[in-house]
Amino acid sequence: MLQNREGQKVPQTTFRTRQDHEWVDVSTDEIFRGRTVVVFALPGAFTPTCSSTHVPRYNQLTPAFRQHGIDEVICVSVNDAFVMNEWRKEQKAYNVTFLPDGNGDFSRAMGMLVPKDDLGFGERSWRYSMLVKDGVIEKMFIEADVPGDPFEVSDADSMLSYIAPDAVKPLDVTVFSREGCPYCVRAKGLLHDAGIRFEELVLNRDFTEATIRAVSGASTVPQVFINGDRIGDSESLEAWLAGQTRNAA
Residues 102 and 149 in one domain: yes
Query: Would residue 44 count as lying in a domain?
Result: yes
The angle at the Cα of 112, spanning 94 to 122, to the nearest 5 degrees, equals 85
Cβ contacts of 187 within 8 Å, gap of 6 or more: 175, 177, 222, 224, 233, 234, 237
Q: Cα(first)–Cα(last) distance of the chain, in Å?
A: 52
Number of domains present in the structure of the chain: 2
Residue 181, pLDDT above cutoff 70? yes
Q: Do 231 and 116 belong together in one domain?
A: no
46 & 151 share domain: yes
Residues 82 and 189 both lie in one domain: no
Residues 134, 24: one domain?
yes
Same domain, 51 and 114: yes
Task: Note whether residue 3 is domain-resident.
Answer: no
> How far apart are alpha carbons 61 and 79 in whole angstroms?
24
pLDDT tens column, 105-130: 999 999 999 999 888 889 999 999 99
Q: Which of 163, 191, 224 is the last residue of a domain?
A: 163
Same domain, 23 and 74: yes
Does residue 35 sit in the same domain as residue 141? yes
Nearest to 128, CA basis, from 116, 109, 105, 112: 112
For residue 8, being part of any structural domain is answered with no
Query: From CA 141, how far away is CA 166, in angstroms rounded?
Result: 19
- For the chain, give the number of residues: 249
Residue 19: which CATH number?
Answer: 3.40.30.10
For 195, the domain range is 173-248
75 tagged catalytic: no
Select from 163, 190, 222 the last residue of a domain.
Answer: 163
Q: What is the pLDDT of residue 81?
A: 97
Q: What angle do CA 206, 207, 210 make, to 5 degrees?
A: 175
Query: 23 and 143 share a domain?
Result: yes
Among 111, 131, 163, residue at a domain's last position:
163
In which band, very low, low, confident or very high, does the pLDDT at 249 lie, cut at 50, 70 and 90?
A: low
Instruction: Give the tens place of pLDDT for each residue, 6-24.
Output: 999 999 999 999 999 999 9
Of the residues 50, 75, 181, 184, only one is catalytic, namely 50
Same domain as 208, residue 157: no
- For the stretch 75-88, pLDDT in tens is 999 999 999 999 99
In this predicted structure, the answer to whether residue 1 has a pLDDT above a threshold of 70 is no
In a domain, 9, yes or no: no
* CA pair distance 77, 54, nearest whole angstrom: 12
